[in-house]
Amino acid sequence: MNTLKLRRLLITLHLWIAGLLAPAFLIVAISGGLDMAGVEPSVRQTPLALPADTRLDFGSDEIEQQVRDLLDAQDVDIDFEYIRGSNSWAMTRPTTRTFVRFERGHQGNIEATINRPNLQYALMELHKGHGPRIYRLYQVAVALALFLAVIGGVAVGLLARNYRKQTLIATVFGTLLAAGLAIL
């Protein structure tokens, strides 16, 4: 394959990857930008009344089934995929939609809250990888595609004689800038 055809192929792939990934990058840019600007997301919390004798074994492998049984017994309809937690708390995931957080109270009783995130909170949870499992797989594909798009863009610049010097200068400058800021 000659250089011109290779460059055209790389440009086409680069444009397709950029177009397909633009929504994911916008989510990261919007949620991260708002966070860095100090705009706080919000979650509307509603206490969930539980019977005094409610018990959850947070460290158990059965915690997910225990939570499902407890929510069914309380007639609370929360759609969740998995549980995240520790020995003293658990929460349903994904947290991009209504979720429940359980924790052990001061006297050993179980306290629970139903949490309804606003759009900004949901976007930040996607950004952090706390969304649905299928979206997390999508994020892995986005990361790989971003890597390929960047490498492809640099390759296109290096293959084009008119852009080779600019590409090298920009790549070296970008590398030094990123390394310098990371060290500071």
Over residues 89-123, the pLDDT tens digits come to: 999 999 999 999 999 987 878 999 999 999 999 99
Is the per-residue pLDDT at 1 higher than 80? no
Give a yes or no: residue 96 inside a domain. yes
* Residues 108 and 143 placed together within one structural domain of the fold: no
* Residues 23 and 56 placed together within one structural domain of the fold: no
Structural domains counted in the chain? 2
pLDDT interval class at 33 (50, 70, 90)? very high
Q: Which pLDDT tens digit goes with each residue over 47-57?
A: 999 998 898 99
* Residues 140 and 112 placed together within one structural domain of the fold: no
pLDDT interval class at 148 (50, 70, 90)? confident
Q: Which of 117, 148, 168 finishes a domain?
A: 117
* Residues 52 and 105 placed together within one structural domain of the fold: yes
User: Could you give the strand order of the β-sheet that contains 43-48, starting from the edge strand earlier in sequence?
Assistant: 43-48, 110-117, 99-104, 89-93, 82-85
Give me the domain span that covers residue 154: 3-38+132-183
* Residues 34 and 51 placed together within one structural domain of the fold: no
* Residues 34 and 86 placed together within one structural domain of the fold: no
* Residues 143 and 101 placed together within one structural domain of the fold: no
Distance of CA 30 to the CA centre of its chain: 13
Q: Region 35-40: what's the mean pLDDT?
A: 94
Is the per-residue pLDDT at 4 higher than 90? no
C-alpha–C-alpha distance, residues 32 and 21, integer Å: 16
Q: Which of 66, 84, 117 finishes a domain?
A: 117
pLDDT value for 52 = 86
∠ CA 33-44-131, nearest 5°, is 55
- CA distance readout (Å), 22 to 8, 17, 26, 136, 180: 21, 8, 6, 16, 28
Give a yes or no: residue 124 inside a domain. no
Question: Backbone phi, then psi, for 55, in 5-degree steps?
Answer: -130, 140
pLDDT value for 34 = 94
Give a yes or no: residue 18 inside a domain. yes
27-41, 43-57, 127-141, 142-156: least confidently modelled range: 142-156
Q: Which pLDDT tens digit goes with each residue over 71-82?
A: 999 999 999 999
Average pLDDT value over all residues in the chain: 92
Give a yes or no: residue 158 inside a domain. yes
pLDDT interval class at 160 (50, 70, 90)? confident
